[in-house]
Amino acid sequence: MPASQKLKALRKVRNITVREVEQASRRIAEARGDKRFCISNGWLTQLENGVSEPSICKLFSLSVIYHVKFSDLIRLYDVDIDETEKYEPVANPNLTQLFSQETDKYDHAARIPSGTSLLPGTVGLSSSPLAQIRDRAASITRGYIGMDDFTMYPLIRPGSTVRIDIAQNKLKHIAWHSEYERPIYFIELRDAFACGWCELHGNQLLIIPHHSSPASIQRFTYPKEAEIVGRVTSFETRCVDEGEVIHEEKTVRAKSTGR
């Protein structure tokens, strides 16, 4: 059923005429001192016939008059405000980020974030159903390493997904003998996320890049400017860089076409 018909059905359920909607919306507009919240009966008729679409202000008035949540009315028009985090990787593909549970429903192939992020879901990691249940019980969340984040390159390449134990959110002095044993942490900064080896010198948190990485050591005041989200317990990473894959695909296509 089209959104316009659903909207009309809501009015019918409330047993309200278009004229009564206009009168109620006029009172809301007067109370707010903003005529944008006023809905004329002619405009509402057009809306219910699918001729026009509502503005935010008018939709707010309808949500009040129909006793329906504003977010539910928006969903009639195929806009879900709970999906904002789901599309953050698309809008900001170069950032390292954290993702919400809703991201689990998102097609991994459709998102190519360049920033590092968090996702309490299962995107990109081939966990078994049992492992996923354990994850939820053991405070496991997930992060995404942005396409511009080379901190742990080549151990963890840009575009990788990581598994994070948020219960391990304090730096511990652990004896390690190789880069594979050294604890890797996921860090929340003021307006971004990071992933790397960490050292705490007084109140200075150092994010240490992989020794083969082009990235430099980053310093932040701890915990004012940086907080530990948790320890990375596993990760899924590419065998080759994104650029190499694209180059190889172009080469194969060129050979197949004889160009």
The answer to whether the bond into 154 is cis (omega within 30° of 0) is yes
**Which residue type is seen at 153?**
Y
Does residue 253 sit within a domain?
no
Does 153 lie in the same domain as 27? no
Q: Is the four-CA dihedral 23, 25, 27, 29 of positive or negative sign?
A: negative
Give residue-wise pLDDT tens across range 183-237.
999 999 988 999 999 999 999 999 999 999 999 999 999 999 999 999 999 998 8
Same domain, 52 and 97: no
Query: E-assigned strands of 60-139?
Result: 96-98, 116-119
Alpha-carbon distance 196 to 182, whole Å?
A: 10
Q: Are residues 101 and 223 in the same domain?
A: yes
In a domain, 259, yes or no: no
Q: What CATH number does the domain containing 40 carry?
A: 1.10.260.40
Q: What is the pTM of this model?
A: 0.56
Spatial distance between the Cα atoms of 206 and 200, rounded to a whole number of angstroms? 6
Residue 167 and residue 236 share a domain: yes
For residue 224, being part of any structural domain is answered with yes
Same domain? 162 vs 57: no
Looking at the structure, tell me whether residues 216 and 88 fall in a common domain.
yes
Residues 79-102: tens digit of each pLDDT: 888 777 777 767 776 777 776 544
Its domain, for residue 186, covers 84-243
Same domain, 173 and 236: yes
